[in-house]
Each structure stands twice: as C-alpha cells, then as structure tokens.
Amino acid sequence: MEQVKVIAPAKINLSLDITGVDEKGYHLLDMVMQTISVFERITLTKQDDITMSSNAKFIPTDSRNTAVKAAIKFFEYTGIKGGVHIHIKKTVPIKAGMAGGSADAAGVIVGLNRLYSAGLSTEQMCEIGLMCGSDIPFMIHGGTKRIQGTGDIILPAPQMPQCHIAVCMPTKGVSTPQAYANYDEMGIKTIVENEKLLKAMEENNLEEMAKYMANDLEKAAGSDETEPLKKLLLDLGAVGSMMTGSGAAVFGIFRDEETAENAVRAIRNKEISLPCAVRSVFLAKPVNYGARVTRN
C-alpha cells in the first residue's frame, strides 16, 4: 500500500464547562462534544521524508502545522523508518472552534496507522494525538463523548438526538489562547449543567437538550457576532443555538431538514437581512465516528 485517503469530521461543543486549572496552568474542562458531517479530506502518500501541501494557501505546511507534528510523533512513537506526503483538502474554517486542525492531525495518525500497518490501538493513537493537541484524542474517537481533564479523559455519552445542524462562520475568527486569557481576566462563569444535558440526550429530547447547551467561553471569546448569529438561527427555526468551542462559529440545532436547509439557503444567498457578515455556512448532521480511512 502506497497511499491512503482519510476523512476527518469537524466537531461542535454541546457544552463547555471550565472547572479549574491544573498545576501546569492548563484549563480543566468538562464538555460534551459531537462530530458532524463537515469533513477535512486527507491523502497520505508514502515517501522518505515528511512534507505537506493543501488547497488552503493560508496555513503553514511545515512543523508548525499540527498535522505535520502528528506525523513526526507517529514515526517517533512507533520507531518506523519512513515518511509521508500529507495533502489536506480543507473545508473546516480556521479559528472556528470546530477543531479543523485537530481533525487533520487525527486523520494523519489514523491514516499512517493503516498506511504502515502499524497495528496501533485506538488508545495508542490517542497517546500520540495528545502529544500534539488536546482535542485530537476526541477527533480520533468521534461520535458523542463527554470530555474531561485537559482532553485526556474521554467518557461515553448518550447519542445526540437525530437532528440537522446549521453552522455559521463569521468573517473574524477567534484565537483559542486569547479566549481563555479573556476568560481568566473576566472571571465570568456560565451555568453549565452537563448532567441535565446528558439526561435530555438519553431521553432523546432535542428541545430539552437545546435548553441545557451552554459554553463558558461565549462571553470571553470577544466575538461581537455570536449573539446576533444565535438570534438569527433561532429566528430561522432552530430549537437551540450556541457558539462552539472557543469560537467563532455559531451553530443552530433544527428538528427537521427542510427548516435547516431553508435557513442555510437564506443565509448563504442573503435572502434575509444578516446581522453581520458571514464567511461560510454549512448544513450538517451528527456522525458517530472520528477520522477514518475511506475508499474515496
């Protein structure tokens, strides 16, 4: 085998609760996360060294890129003498809180495991992932999970109720380190009730689930577009809306596909007056997997 192709889904946060800070200064979290059908597409080709290319001209293609770091750590971890050319076809916007970079890294680890027949378990792949970024283990697992600690504790969660998701990305992204620094400075805590959120999901109650979606970073992220976009999605028929991760993307949960499609079309084609500029808008569904090798 000389080449593999991988799809790596983006994620949204259904909740984000900052529970403290560890001895190294990292924020401790308690989150419910969900992978969705917005995909990064990664092609891995065997070669002697590690190189990278992408359709996105604005991202680094050297060791500053998390995908390249993941490849370096994979070969160090396994002791395999080899290399890879990584080509990433990006769809997930950067600085969106959708873990596009972590999805790329997860895709590289999963793909290299297949390309080089390394035989790593999911847990071992997650060990490599954690060396490169806190979201990567979840992006390897995918589905609906409760994530705690600094991203290293992955717990099962009830499957997200069937629904349709509209994701709006404003023109301006949000820096994750800056969002956390703002949170520390502001000291504004949101009420995040993960147990009630998970109970609603277990009962397959979409409206109740939407009621308990909450994100500690919404105010700290500093994006002026968050509240207007949440209101817009609710006005267009979403049963709930929230900023994902550290922002700046905002998503709305819709019960039926037609309402979600109409909302996305209205925003994309500017059929309605928009409260702010929107760089991109996606229609998605929850998916129950993380990065995986595909035939296409």
DSSP 185: H
Nearest Cα residue to 120 out of 90, 140, 96 = 140
Do the Cβ atoms of 291 and 106 come closer than 8 Å?
A: yes
From 11, 95, 145, 219, the catalytic residue: 11
Tell me what pLDDT residue 126 has: 98
Tell me what pLDDT residue 295 has: 80
Distance CA 168, CA 22 (A): 33
Q: Which overall architecture, per CATH, does domain 164-284 show?
A: 2-Layer Sandwich (3.30)
Do the Cβ atoms of 144 and 288 come closer than 8 Å?
A: yes
Tell me what pLDDT residue 1 has: 87
Tokens of 252: 């709305």
Tell me what pLDDT residue 187 has: 85
Per-residue pLDDT tens for 5-18? Answer: 999 999 999 999 99
Per-residue pLDDT tens for 81-134? Answer: 999 999 999 999 999 999 999 999 999 999 999 999 999 999 999 999 999 999
From 90, 135, 219, 230, the catalytic residue: 135
Q: Looking at the chain, which residues constitute the CATH 3.30.70.890 domain(s)? A: 164-284
- Its pTM stands at 0.96
Please check the confidence at residue 296 and state whether its pLDDT lies above 80.
Answer: no
Give the chain's mean pLDDT: 96
Q: Which fold has domain 3-157+287-294?
A: Ribosomal Protein S5; domain 2 (3.30.230)
Q: Is there a catalytic annotation at residue 11? A: yes
Do the Cβ atoms of 240 and 252 come closer than 8 Å?
A: yes
Rounded to 5 degrees, φ, ψ at 151 are: 110, -5
Do the Cβ atoms of 166 and 282 come closer than 8 Å?
A: yes
Please check the confidence at residue 162 and state whether its pLDDT lies above 80.
Answer: yes
Tell me what pLDDT residue 268 has: 97
Percentage with pLDDT > 90 across the chain? 96
Do the Cβ atoms of 167 and 253 come closer than 8 Å?
A: no
Q: Looking at the chain, which residues constitute the CATH 3.30.230.10 domain(s)? A: 3-157+287-294
Per-residue pLDDT tens for 41-77? Answer: 999 999 999 999 999 999 999 999 999 999 999 999 9
Tell me what pLDDT residue 147 has: 98
Q: Which amino acid is at 253?
A: I
Per-residue confidence at 38, pLDDT binned at 50, 70, 90? very high
Tell me what pLDDT residue 188 has: 85
